[in-house]
Structure 1
Amino acid sequence: MIVSMARKNINRDFATAINLGIPEQMPVLPIALDQFAAQLSNVSYRQYSTDADILAEAWNKVIERFDLDWAGIFIDDLLEFEPLGIEVTSEDQIPRAVKKYLPATEGILADFRIPDPETDGRMKVNLEAQRLLRQHWGEKILICSSIAAPFTALTLAFGIVPIMTLLYDRPDFLIKSVKFFEELEMLWGQALVEAGADVIWLGDCSASSRFISVDTYEKFALEPAARVAEAIKRAGGNVIYHAAENKLQHLKAMVQAGGDILTIAEYADMNLVKDEIGSDICLMGNLDCIKLILNGTPEEIENEIKKLTEEVALRGGYIVNTAEGIPVQVPIENLEAMINAIRGK
C-alpha cells in the first residue's frame, strides 16, 4: 500500500515542468479517478456526482490512499450543458451521458442563457467540492476541474453528427454558436479558478484529427479555445489542453490553443513529438490506459514509465501520465505500480 506523503512543493514542481524544466519530483496527476474515488468511499456514483461533501471526502481518501498531487475532478462532461436543456441519463454507478441532444437551430440558440455556476444544476457541486478540498489540503495539492473548449461544447449540446454537417452547410450559424459557448466556458472556467482550481482541463476531443482537418481546426476551433484559455490564465489558473491527439500536424496547431500543457495521446512517438514541439510547450501523457495500465503487468508499466522518464522527462517540460482517463477496472496493483514508477520508487 502506498503511504501518503503529500508534499509542500507540488506548485513549484508543476511550474517547473510548465516552464520546460525538470521538476525535482515528477508530479503524480492521474486522470479521471472519480469512479475509483466513489468506490473507495463506498458511495454510488450518483451520490458522488451530486453531493459536494461526498465528492470532497472521496477525494480526500483517494489522495491519502495513493499519495496523489492533485484532486483531478472529472465528474462528467455535462455540468455546464444540463442547464441548457439537454436530456441526460442518470445511472447509479456510472457517469451521466447525453440521452437527447438539442436541435441545432436559430431558435434554440436564441433561447440559450449563460448558466449561473453558483446556483444552476451540478455546477455548484463542483465549486463547493473544490472549496472543501482547498480548506482541507491548503497548498499541499493541486486542484483541477474540467470544462469543454468551445468547438467541443457544440458537440455536447447538439451532437457530433449535426456539427460535422454544419461545418459545410451552415458555417455562419456554427460560428455564431461557437461564440455563445466561448462566453459560457470563459465564465465557467473563471468561476472554477475563483473557487480554488489551480488547473483547468480544457477538453477538445471533438476538434481532434479523428473528426476534422488541421485547416478546419484552425478556422473554427483554435481561436475560440485560445480565448477561453487566456481568460482562465487571467483569472490565475493554468490550462491543460486535451484533444486526445497523436497526429503531429494537429499537435503543432494545438500548441497555439493557449494551454500551459498539451496532452499527447497513445501511439504518438514521444521522442519525435518532443523534438518537434517540446521547446514550445510542456507535454503530458502518452501512456496507453487500456493496453498498458489496464491489461499490462506492473513490471511492464514500470518499464514503460522508466523509458519515458529517461528518454523524454529528463529533457524537461514533460509530465509522465496516461493519455486518457484511467478505467475503473484497472487492477489496484497496476495503479500503484504506475504511481510508484512516476515517483521514481
Structure 2
Amino acid sequence: MELTSRQRIQNSIRGQATDCVAVGPYMYDVAVAFSGVVLRDFYTDADVMTKAQLALHEALDQDVIAVGADNCYIAEGFGCKTTRERDELPAITESPAKTLDEVFKIEPLDPYRDGRMPVMIDAIKQVRAAVGDSVAIRSPGTGPFALASYLIGSQTWLYEVGMLEAGLTEGTEDAIRHALEVAAESLIRFGKACWDAGADIIHCGDSLASCDMISPSTYERFALPYEQKVFQAWRDHGITGSLLHICGDSTRVLDMYAKSGAAIVEVDNMVDLSVAKQILGDRVALMGNVHTINDLLQGTPESVEEASRRCIENVGGGNHFILGSGCIVPRDTPIENLQAMVRIARSIHPTAGETTPA
C-alpha cells in the first residue's frame, strides 16, 4: 500500500493504517532562507509565500506544507500596529484598546477582508492548485486566548486575567469574556475560510495559554472553553483536521487538551512523548516533537535521525501520530537536518515501528 502524503496525513489523524510514519515539521520562514526570497515579501505576498513553500517541499517531500509566517496577520485586522522590517517578522507595537473597557468596541473580523488573513487564504489556494490532491496543507491560526491578548497587549491581558482569577479585582470579567468571544469568532471564521480554500489541518496556536504563562486552573476557566467553541464550530463545518498547538510543558493539562475537541494535539519538545501518549491515548492524534534548537537547528543529520526515531518509539511505533517539530522550525535550520527527519519517517512502518529499507 503506497499512499499520497495527503492520504497519509488523513489516515494518521483518523488512527488508520499508513504505509510509513507521517511527517510534517512546522515550517514557515525556513522556506525564506531556503528559497532566497525577501522575508517581508514572504509575509505580505501570497505569490511569494507560495513560491517559497513549494521550493522547500521540492527539496524535502514532507507530507505537510504549512502556510503562514507570523502571529500578527489576524491581529492587524483589529487595528494592531505592527512592524514591517525587510528581514524580520512583524511584531505588534500598539494594541487597539488602551483600557479593558475599550474592547467592547471591537467586533469579530472578516477573514476575506481584514488584516493579512486574505494573504494566507490566497496562499492556501495557490498551494492546493499547485500540488493537487497529493500533499496535505496546514493553515495558520492564532488561538482565542492569545488573540484576545493582542487587543490590549499581552502583559496587560495576563495581569487582568490573573487578577480576576485570584479574586483581586471586580467588574472586569465581562470585558475579558467579550475579548475572548471576539477572538474565538474571528478564528472560527478564518479557520472555515482556510478549510474552504483547501487546507487539511486547521491550526489553533494558543501559546499564551501555556502552563509556562498561566496556571492550569486559569487555562480551564479562560482558555479551554473558547478553544472548545472554536473546535466545535469547525467540526460543524466539516473540518476533520483541527490542531491545537500550545508551547511549553503542557503535561499537567494534556487531559484537558484531549477534551478541547481538537483532532490533533501538537506538543512542544519539553513534553515527554511517551507520557503524552499515555495521557492522551487514542482520543486524539499526537504530533511532535523533535527539538527545534538542539536537534534541528544545531544538530546533525545523524542526531536528527536519532531524535526522530526516539519520538516514534515513544509513541509506540507511530500509529495515530505525525512526526513533527516541537514548535516553529528556525529560519536557518540546515536543509540536511530536515531531510534526515523526513527520511527516518519514510523508513518506519507505523504499525510495527520497525525500520525497513528506504
TM-score normalised to structure 1 length: 0.92
Q: Is the 8 A contact 1:149 1:204 kept in 2?
A: yes
CA distance in 1: counterparts of 2:110 and 2:250, whole angstroms? 37
Give SS of 1:148's match.
Answer: coil
Give SS of 1:262's match.
Answer: strand
- Alpha-carbon distance, 1:137 to partner: 1.2
- Could you give the per-residue CA deviations for residues 24-44 of structure 1, whole angstroms, max 9, x where no partner exists? 222221112x32322333221
- Alpha-carbon distance, 1:327 to partner: 0.6
Which of 11, 20, 27 is matched with 1:25 structurally?
A: 20
- Alpha-carbon distance, 1:15 to partner: 2.6
Following TM superposition, the consecutive aligned residue runs of length 4 or more in structure 1 with deviations greater than 6 angstroms are: none
CA distance in 1: counterparts of 2:209 and 2:98, whole angstroms? 18
Structure 1 partner of 2:215 = 213
**Could you tell which deviates more after superposition, 109-118 or 256-265?**
109-118
Which of 264, 267, 270 is matched with 1:264 structurally?
A: 267
Q: Is the 8 A contact 2:30 2:329 kept in 1?
A: no
Q: Is the 8 A contact 1:148 1:204 kept in 2?
A: yes
- Alpha-carbon distance, 1:76 to partner: 0.9
Which of 124, 144, 147 is matched with 1:150 structurally?
A: 144
Structure 2 partner of 1:178 = 180
Q: Is the 8 A contact 2:309 2:344 kept in 1?
A: yes
- Alpha-carbon distance, 1:21 to partner: 4.0
Letter in 1 for 2:181: K
In the alignment, does 2:138 pair up with 1:136? Answer: no
Structure 1 partner of 2:48 = 54
Structure 2 partner of 1:4 = none
Q: Structure 1 215/68 Cα, relative in aligned 2: closer, same or farther at 3 Å? A: same
Aligned ranges for residues 159-174 of structure 1 at < 5 Å?
Answer: 159-167=153-161, 168=164, 169=169, 170-174=172-176
Which of 319, 322, 325 is matched with 1:322 structurally?
A: 325
Aligned ranges for residues 181-196 of structure 1 at < 5 Å?
Answer: 181-196=183-198
Q: Is the 8 A contact 1:8 1:140 kept in 2?
A: no
Structure 2 partner of 1:120 = 114
In the alignment, does 2:338 pair up with 1:343? Answer: no
- Alpha-carbon distance, 1:66 to partner: 1.2
**Could you tell which deviates more after superposition, 178-187 or 100-109?**
100-109
Structure 2 partner of 1:242 = 245
CA distance in 1: counterparts of 2:280 and 2:251, whole angstroms? 9
In the alignment, does 2:299 pair up with 1:305? Answer: no
Q: Is the 8 A contact 1:283 1:319 kept in 2?
A: yes
TM-score normalised to structure 2 length: 0.88
CA distance in 1: counterparts of 2:112 and 2:209, whole angstroms? 29
- Could you give the per-residue CA deviations for residues 269-302 of structure 1, whole angstroms, max 9, x where no partner exists? 2212212222321111121111111122221111
CA distance in 1: counterparts of 2:125 and 2:314, whole angstroms? 38
Q: Is the 8 A contact 2:21 2:318 kept in 1?
A: no
**Could you tell which deviates more after superposition, 103-112 or 132-141?**
103-112
Q: Is the 8 A contact 1:194 1:235 kept in 2?
A: no
Q: Is the 8 A contact 2:97 2:103 kept in 1?
A: no
Which of 223, 226, 233 is matched with 1:224 structurally?
A: 226
Letter in 2 for 1:191: A
Q: Is the 8 A contact 1:202 1:241 kept in 2?
A: yes
CA distance in 2: counterparts of 1:275 and 1:8, whole angstroms? 28
Structure 1 partner of 2:97 = 103
Q: How many residue pairs are counted as aligned between the two chains?
A: 338
What are the ranges of 5 or more consecutive residues in structure 1 without an aligned counterpart?
Answer: 1-6
CA distance in 2: counterparts of 1:90 and 1:243, whole angstroms? 26
Structure 1 partner of 2:58 = 64
Q: Is the 8 A contact 2:67 2:123 kept in 1?
A: no
Structure 1 partner of 2:283 = 280
Aligned ranges for residues 83-102 of structure 1 at < 5 Å?
Answer: 83-102=77-96
In the alignment, does 2:246 pair up with 1:252? Answer: no
- Could you give the per-residue CA deviations for residues 109-141 of structure 1, whole angstroms, max 9, x where no partner exists? 233233322233321111111111111111111
- Could you give the per-residue CA deviations for residues 54-111 of structure 1, whole angstroms, max 9, x where no partner exists? 2212222111121122220121111111121111011112211111223353553233
Letter in 2 for 1:273: A
CA distance in 1: counterparts of 2:342 and 2:3, whole angstroms? 18
Q: Structure 1 186/311 Cα, relative in aligned 2: closer, same or farther at 3 Å? A: closer
Q: Is the 8 A contact 2:103 2:179 kept in 1?
A: yes
Letter in 1 for 2:177: I
Q: Structure 1 104/236 Cα, relative in aligned 2: closer, same or farther at 3 Å? A: farther
Give SS of 1:302's match.
Answer: helix
Letter in 2 for 1:194: D
Q: Is the 8 A contact 2:9 2:63 kept in 1?
A: no
